[in-house]
């Protein structure tokens, strides 16, 4: 026999050898089928089988007889207890129990500390002084009068319409000025009481040479402005102007322009007087 054939037979022999688990399963089957007599002949004893090695799959249905069971197991079966079965499925969830009674309320908490005082409010307005009480008779003190009631404020008056500022004026033509006579009034204007800006003008002429003329602006009897011309040439005609700010009171006041010629006869012409009211 060649070495190759010997190796092939050796491998074939090794493949046919039973595994340990198969040997244990066969031993259990032998025991179940009458293996006690077989074991008694010295092949396999019960102490040589590991616990749990023989499973239900290795035992044929109906192969185990009551005589094969232990005395304790037969006693349990006779009492109706039987062997423990497999664990059953979980049962359905039971209904919720009735809620328990409410617990006793806890004790009240301790009061907190007082907060800080707020700032002082502003002082109230002073009250109105009451009217003096009526004096009592001699020897007896009079009772104090009750505080007077504040009077009701009057209704505001309606604003007046703005007045129109209208200048007052007067005009006068040719007026003779006799020589060495009292001052002659060449233009006049009556104005009511008030404040005025007064403007006056005239044109003076005379017949002599080197003459002098003087004119006065008066409010009533008071002179408020004046103008004087001296050493005028013969037959000269020169303008003269006067102005002032006056205040009149009482009845209407007469504003006048008065002129006088020192030597020769003269005249005043184109005379005017304007009074402009002011506040």
The full set of domain ranges for the chain reads: 3-78, 168-278
Residues 6+ positions from 22 with CB-CB distance below 8 Å? none
Q: Which of 156-160, 218-222, 229-233 has the highest mean pLDDT?
A: 218-222
d(CA 227, CA 242): 7
In the predicted model, what is the mean pLDDT of residues 25-34?
56
Residues 6+ positions from 12 with CB-CB distance below 8 Å? none
Helices (H), the chain: 3-16, 20-32, 35-40, 71-78
Residue 88's pLDDT is what? 74
Residue 242's pLDDT is what? 96
Cα angle at 38 between 73 and 28, to 5 degrees? 55
Each residue's pLDDT tens digit, 112-151: 788 888 888 888 888 788 777 676 555 555 566 676 677 6
pLDDT at 14 over 60: no
Residue 187's pLDDT is what? 96
pLDDT at 175 over 90: yes
pLDDT at 10 over 70: no
pLDDT at 35 over 50: no
d(CA 76, CA 163): 138
Only one residue has tokens 């004046």, namely 226
d(CA 197, CA 223): 15
Confidence tier at 179 by pLDDT (50, 70, 90): confident
Higher pLDDT, 38 or 239: 239
Q: Which range, of 102-111, 126-135, 209-218, 269-278, averages the lowest pLDDT? A: 126-135
Confidence tier at 209 by pLDDT (50, 70, 90): low
Q: How far is CA 172 from the centre of its chain?
A: 75
The fold adopted by the segment(s) 168-278 is Jelly Rolls (2.60.120)
Q: In 3D, which of 155, 257, 239 has the Cα closest to residue 198?
A: 257
What is the model's pTM?
0.41
pLDDT at 215 over 90: yes
SS3 assignment, position 241: strand
Residues 6+ positions from 7 with CB-CB distance below 8 Å? none
Each residue's pLDDT tens digit, 227-268: 987 766 777 788 899 999 999 987 899 999 999 888 778 889
Q: Which range, of 12-26, 156-170, 184-198, averages the lowest pLDDT? A: 12-26
Question: 211: number of CA atoms within 13 Å, CB side?
Answer: 26
**DSSP-assigned letters across all residues of 169-194:** EEEE--EEE-BTSSPEEEEEEEE-SE
């Amino acid at each position: 026999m060649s070495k190759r054939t010997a190796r092939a037979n050796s491998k074939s022999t090794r493949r046919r050898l039973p595994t340990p688990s198969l040997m244990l399963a066969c031993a259990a089957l032998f025991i179940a089928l009458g293996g006690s007599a077989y074991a008694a002949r010295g092949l396999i004893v019960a102490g040589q089988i590991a616990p749990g090695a023989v499973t239900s799959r290795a035992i044929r249905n109906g192969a185990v007889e009551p005589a094969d069971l232990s005395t304790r197991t037969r006693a349990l079966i006779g009492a109706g207890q039987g062997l423990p079965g497999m664990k059953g499925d979980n049962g359905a969830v039971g209904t919720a129990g009735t809620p328990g009674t409410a617990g006793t309320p806890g004790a009240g908490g301790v009061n907190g500390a007082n907060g800080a005082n707020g700032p002082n409010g502003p002082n109230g307005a002073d009250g109105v002084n009451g009217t003096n009480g009526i004096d009592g008779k001699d020897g007896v003190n009079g009772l104090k009068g009750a505080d007077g009631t504040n009077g009701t404020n009057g209704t505001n008056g309606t604003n007046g319409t703005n007045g129109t500022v209208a200048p007052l004026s007067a005009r006068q033509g040719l007026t003779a000025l006799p020589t060495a006579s009292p001052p002659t009034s060449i233009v006049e204007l009556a104005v009511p009481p008030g404040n005025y800006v007064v403007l006056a003008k005239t044109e003076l002429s005379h017949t002599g040479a080197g003459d002098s003329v003087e004119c006065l602006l008066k409010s009533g009897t008071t002179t408020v402005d004046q103008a004087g011309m001296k050493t005028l040439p013969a037959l000269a005609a020169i303008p003269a102007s006067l102005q002032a700010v006056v205040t009149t009171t009482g009845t209407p006041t007469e504003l006048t322009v008065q002129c006088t010629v020192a030597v020769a006869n003269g005249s005043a012409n184109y005379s005017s007087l304007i009074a402009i009211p002011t506040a």
